[in-house]
A and B are shown apart, each in its own frame.
Chain A
Amino acid sequence: MSVTKDGVPAQAGTSPAGSDASAGRGRVSRPGRRRRRRDDPRLEHVLREQASVWTRMKRERWTYAFIVPGMLFFLVFSYVPLLGNVVAFQDYSPYWGIGGSEWVGFDNFTAMFSDPQFLGALKNTLIISFLQIVFAFPAPILLALLLNSLISERTKRVVQSIVYLPHFISWVIVISIWQQVFGGAGPAAELFSAIGLDNVNIMSDPDTFKALVVSQVIWKDIGWGTIIFFAAISGIPNELYEAAAVDGAGAARRTWHITLPGLVPVITLLLILTIGNVLTVGFEQLLLQQPAVGADAAEVLDTFVYYRGIAGGDWGLSTAAGLFKGVIGTVLVLAANKFAKRLGTGGLF
């Protein structure tokens, strides 16, 4: 059953499989129309190319009925807000709207880069991102390797279902639970006082907050992150391991020389995505905890945009900050993609 989609005319006879028997069973045409020329299946491709765009659109009019609602959604809720970013170049006031507000050029951006609060948020964002790339990014790889080395399928499945679980819990619940366990009244505080450290509340300590953020991310998503690595590991042919074992490679060397190289494409892919998100660090996670630890430690770009804009009413400047973040993110992901392609590991697109 060939489903070749790009049958060039020379090979077209083989492309609609077995179509000699049911001549003209074209995917293009509906039965009952265009009878005259459809009879030769080899012409199908040529016919399709020759039919005018208008004819083809008319033929597919019901397909458009499927496309239009979704397309409208993306136009209104993805592309209109994209245009809404012009607010970044305005002294926007809700009263005047986008049409009536005064244009101020790059004033918002200059104001932004001399705003200590923004610079602090940028610094926090970069530090947390860096910590996450160093600690949270490799964690699922290590866990996947560890679980992969288990022999018992059942143990593996049980452990997997346990470590996936926190991924599905909202940040509100995660923070609530962590507060109960690590907060001032929880068992962790008791543990600390048992070893002589009184009044330790790591949930509201600004000094250790960034480590806390990274730990929470690891706790929540380490299991979920392993899924994609498992898929990649299961794609590595068994023969490689056998051959290596025969040649005397132990478990560690097999991991290093076979499993890890097999994971490189996936790791590259995810690293590209991570780099594109360098300016996005767990928005809800930080928003929720900022009241407890204070803005100095917990202000990141997204929370800055929220507090300045929606809560504070400084629309122009906060949109500028959001736009800055979006543009940098897109540029980074494109650059990382190009770089990965040049390295020969294949990019994302």
Chain B
Amino acid sequence: MTAAPQAPAPLIDRAVPVYRPSGKRPVWMGTPSPGVQLLKAITIALIVLVMLYPFVYVIAMSFASREAAASGGFFPTAFSLDAYRSILGGDVVTRAMLVSIGITTVGTTLSMIFTTTLAYGLMRTRDVPGAKTILVLVLCTMLFGAGIIPNYLLVRSLGLLDSYWSLIVPGLISAFNMVVVRNFFMGLPTELFESARLDGASDWRIFTRIVIPLSKAVLAVIALFYAVGYWNSFFNAMIYLNDTSKWPIQVVLNQYVVQGSALTSIQAPDQPPPPGQTLQMAVIVVATIPILMLYPFAQRYFTKGVLTGAIKG
């Protein structure tokens, strides 16, 4: 009865032992011909190059000195920090970064609270009258969306236009993420809840002391999804915020890089302007850095099957 807290079973059911490559070619496989191997190596090298080159090029160019940027080529050679000094000295980019960081932090926190509580509440559909209906209603929202205009009209009639809340509240809970979390919760051993309940623990206590600590892995992934979503959100900010001083970094990036508005307004006033292209690259890098920082941490979890279990809900 006192089942030790243990990691829940992986969400992909594996009825049979599975081929796990161990870095050694199994005997039965047979060695492919050198030609095939070469072809494979070249293909993979090409894919890696295509994926990485744009990033490398943009980062390199953002550090390029005036002369190096002007001479073009596939890779600049001379190094300079002027572009960063210039954009971080002006207030547009700095303020937009702060806005984005704020939205991402507050939004992710709220999203996690609402997602996990709803997932916990909808766990025991058999015991709780109405929970099944509510679950189905939530799942249905994955099937159809209301469309852009009704959402806009709703946000406007709630008086959220030009408020930072308009970037957080409409996407507070993603039904998909809720289902992923709920599936994970349901994989936890039931005995834990039962014995806790027998000991007189309240739902809140079970939730905060048992369920949440045992679900750290999946919660990390979901938090990452929310954070990336908030950081990357562009369209909501574009339609809901008219006040340009409230713009998050993605909208600023669109304005000054994609649509190519004059960059002078985003620089520090007393700096000699570095070439426009270098400035644009620096803005791109600044907007990408938070993602690049989160990425290695999160990347470990992706292949663990946390997500695949939810696809077929």
Contact = CB atoms under 8 A, between A and B. Distances in A.
Interface string B6-45: 0000001010111111111110111010000000100110
B67 interface: no
A284 interface: yes
A180 B202 contact: no
B262 interface: no
A146 B44 contact: yes
Contacts of A149: 40
A159 B44 contact: yes
Contact of A151 (B21, B28, B308): B21
B197 A31 contact: yes
B79 interface: no
A153 B19 CA distance: 13
Contacts of B203: 62-63, 65-66
Interface string A36-75: 0000000000001000010011001011111101110110
Interface stretch (B86-94, B138-146, B266-274): B138-146
Interface string A295-339: 000000010011001100001001100110110011001000000
A166 interface: yes
Given A85-B146, A250-B30, A187 B73 contact: yes
Interface stretch (B101-109, B118-126, B212-220): B118-126
Nearest to A218: B50
Given A81-B147, A176-B258, A151 B25 contact: yes
B200 A31 contact: yes
B299 A159 contact: no
Interface string B197-223: 111101110010000000000000000
Contact of A319 (B32, B143, B150): B150
B234 A170 contact: yes
B117 A69 contact: yes
A82 interface: yes
Interface of A: 1, 3, 5, 18, 21-22, 25, 27-28, 30-31, 48, 53, 56-57, 60, 62-67, 69-71, 73-74, 76-85, 87, 94, 97-98, 143, 146-147, 149-156, 159-166, 168-173, 175-181, 185-187, 190, 219, 223, 227-228, 230-231, 234-239, 241-242, 245-246, 250-251, 269, 276, 283-284, 287-289, 291, 302, 305-306, 309-310, 315, 318-319, 322-323, 325-326, 329-330, 333, 348-349
Contact of A87 (B150, B200, B277, B295): B150
A187 to B, nearest CB: 5
Contacts of A176: 253, 257-258, 280, 283-284
A245 B197 CA distance: 54
Given A60-B128, A322-B148, A181 B287 contact: no
Nearest to A311: B239
B128 A238 contact: no
A323 B148 CA distance: 9
Contact of A30 (B25, B130, B149, B197): B197
24 contacts: A1-B3, A48-B127, A66-B118, A67-B121, A79-B137, A80-B154, A84-B154, A87-B153, A146-B43, A147-B44, A151-B25, A161-B295, A161-B299, A168-B228, A168-B232, A177-B54, A177-B284, A181-B57, A227-B308, A238-B19, A326-B144, A326-B145, A330-B143, A348-B312
Interface in B281-296: 281, 283-284, 287-288, 291, 294-296
**Which of A65, A170, A230, A237 is most buried by chain B, counting CB atoms within 10 A of its CB?**
A170
Contacts of A168: 228, 232, 291, 294-295
A168 B151 CA distance: 25
B235 A237 contact: no
A58 B218 CA distance: 31
Contact of B284 (A31, A173, A219): A173
A302 B148 contact: yes
B150 A81 contact: yes
Top-7 shortest CB links A-B: A70-B118, A66-B121, A84-B150, A322-B147, A81-B146, A170-B232, A238-B19
Nearest to B50: A219
Nearest to B313: A349
B198 A25 contact: yes
A170 B236 CA distance: 13
B146 A153 contact: no
B180 interface: no
Contacts of A349: 313
